[in-house]
Amino acid sequence: MTDPLSDFPITRRWPPRRPEAIQLYTLNTPNGVKASIMLEECGLDYDAHRIDIGDAAADQMTPEFLALNPNNKIPAMIDPYGPGGQPLGLWESGAILLYLGDKTGRFLPKDGAARWHTVQWLMFQMGGVGPMFGQLGFFHAFKGREIEDKRPRDRYVAESRRLLGVLDRQLEGRDWITGDYSIADIATAPWVNNLVNRYKAGDLVGADDFANVAAWVDRFLARPAVQRGLVVGAEN
């Protein structure tokens, strides 16, 4: 039987343990765990390969990784049995969530207004929550904290707080962002969890003011598939 992954250079650097399974290239960052949580929630068989993004010479800058994702970011994946039964390489966490939702028919409505309602909240995370929380993390928890001028940090504090307010209002009277558990929750909750528990920015943004968000994150973290997905790609 022909190996469906043999045309992907990345598989020579990170050999598949099971070529018939989805190959996931990731790290347990807020973006990385979106893919692993979705795979766990959907019950799909996959091999996970840890990608070190620690410096400019790390795994994501290698020719093999760039052959799959020219934007040198995690997560990326290969489905050996994609559309039409042909292998599909895919990158960008939002695209991966949409693809897996369509592939399995889970956590993404098939059509109609409900589908687009879910997609718009996925875009809210992709265009707002992720970039803004990430910049706040840089200026508060990483090298940006060394900058004496706090105006850049404060700009992202204000925008992060505004986004938390939008999310809190949407969650009023709802367990999940769109009513039913969906890719919008899988995309967004890891970022909120990261903001508070890794960046230690909860006090900075007044996280205690957003009770609906806090309860929603707790519900999310209680899911067994989420617990499994959050540690995929972690250091051993």
Q: What does the pLDDT average to over 50-59?
A: 84
CA 56 from chain centre, in angstroms, equals: 21
What are 46's strand-pairing partners?
A: 22
2 pLDDT more than 70: no
- Which CATH number fits the domain 10-106, given the four candidates 3.40.50.720, 3.40.30.10, 2.40.50.140, 2.60.40.10? 3.40.30.10
pLDDT class for 107, splitting at 50, 70, 90? very high
More confident residue, 236 or 134: 134
| Count of Cβ atoms closer than 10 Å to residue 45 Cβ | 9
pLDDT class for 56, splitting at 50, 70, 90? low
DSSP state of 83: G
Residue 107 CA to residue 177 CA, distance in Å, equals: 12
**CA-wise closest residue to 182 among 112, 117, 111, 90:** 117
What are 47's strand-pairing partners?
A: 23
Residue 80 CA to residue 74 CA, distance in Å, equals: 19
What is the number of alpha carbons within 13 Å of residue 139 lying toward its C-beta? 20
176 pLDDT more than 70: yes
H-assigned helices in the chain = 10-13, 30-42, 63-68, 93-104, 112-124, 130-141, 151-171, 183-197, 202-205, 211-221, 224-230
Does the pTM surpass 0.85? The reply is yes
Domain residue spans of the chain: 10-106, 112-223
CATH 1.20.1050.10 fits 112-223, yes or no: yes
